[in-house]
């Protein structure tokens, strides 16, 4: 009969369609399910290294500055304005200073110099200040006079000097020897202060009325 050929064609098409559908369903079952959400990039966490807390830098003058010096260190120079000369000597936290104007005003001072601070007193004056980086800065008084100063570390023969104690009836004088070797001092031998005569830096002595008087370098 003539209708068999179309029928066979239809049946073949149905079988073929079913086969293709079955293959597609099998492939879909084999594929993993995908999340519809947008993928999130995973960033590896870096191991944070602990940042050490920095040690505060000592501030000159707040009491946390440089410790007391080992060995003797001398500072010397002129006060601001040049109206007087000053020498400071320190060793192991103990300090002394001599300040004078080379005519009538002078003062010997003693005290401490440690932790960035210096504080000295004496019968005729006082000195207070700070130190660090090879310099001392502060204010010094002698009698009714007061000066601001900044003096640096110096090398011998610069420093503070005084006539030998046992011979002060012959000569009672004190000096600041400045870095350039010049001397500024006060002589009180006769009870009336005046400029001191320069002494011999090579021998640390001076001759007074035929008597050789030793001159001692002052240290704490």
- Kindly report, residue by residue over 68-102, the tens digit of the pLDDT: 667 899 999 999 999 999 999 999 999 999 999 99
Question: Which regions in the chain score pLDDT beneath 50?
Answer: 1-4, 6-12, 15, 17, 20-32, 34, 37-38, 40, 43-49, 55-60
Question: 134-147 burial string, b = 16+ CB within 10 Å, else e?
Answer: ebbbbebbbeebeb
**DSSP β-bridge partners for residue 162:** 174, 216
Q: How many CB atoms lie within 10 A of CB 51?
A: 6
Instruction: Decide if 160 contacts 218 (C-beta within 8 A).
Output: yes
Which pLDDT does position 54 carry in this prediction? 53
DSSP-derived secondary structure for 66-119: --PPSSEEEEEEEPGGGS-EEEEEEETTEEEEEEE-SSS-EEEEEEEEETTEEE
pTM, whole model, 2 decimals? 0.72
Residue 213 per-residue DSSP state: E
Residue ranges of domains in the chain, CATH in brackets: 72-217 (2.40.128)
């Amino acid at each position: 009969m003539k209708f068999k050929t179309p029928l066979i064609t239809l049946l073949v098409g149905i079988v073929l369609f079913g086969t293709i559908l079955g293959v597609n369903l099998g492939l879909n079952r084999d594929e993993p399910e995908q999340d519809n959400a947008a993928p999130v990039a995973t960033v590896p966490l870096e191991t944070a290294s602990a940042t050490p807390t920095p040690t505060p830098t000592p501030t000159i003058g707040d009491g946390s500055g440089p410790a007391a010096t080992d060995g003797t260190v001398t500072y010397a120079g002129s006060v601001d304005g040049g109206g007087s000369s000053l020498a400071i000597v320190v060793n192991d936290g103990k300090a002394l200073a001599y300040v004078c104007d080379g005519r009538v005003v002078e003062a010997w001072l003693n005290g401490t110099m440690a932790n960035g601070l210096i504080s000295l007193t004496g019968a005729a004056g006082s000195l207070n200040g700070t130190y660090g980086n090879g310099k001392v800065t502060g204010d010094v008084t002698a009698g009714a006079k007061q000066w601001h100063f900044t003096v640096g570390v110096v090398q011998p023969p610069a420093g503070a000097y005084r006539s030998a104690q046992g011979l002060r009836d012959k000569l009672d004088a004190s000096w600041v020897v400045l870095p350039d070797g010049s001397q500024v001092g006060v002589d009180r031998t006769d009870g009336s202060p005046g400029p001191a005569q320069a002494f011999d830096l090579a021998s640390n002595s001076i001759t007074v009325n035929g008597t050789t008087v030793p001159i001692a370098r002052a240290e704490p």
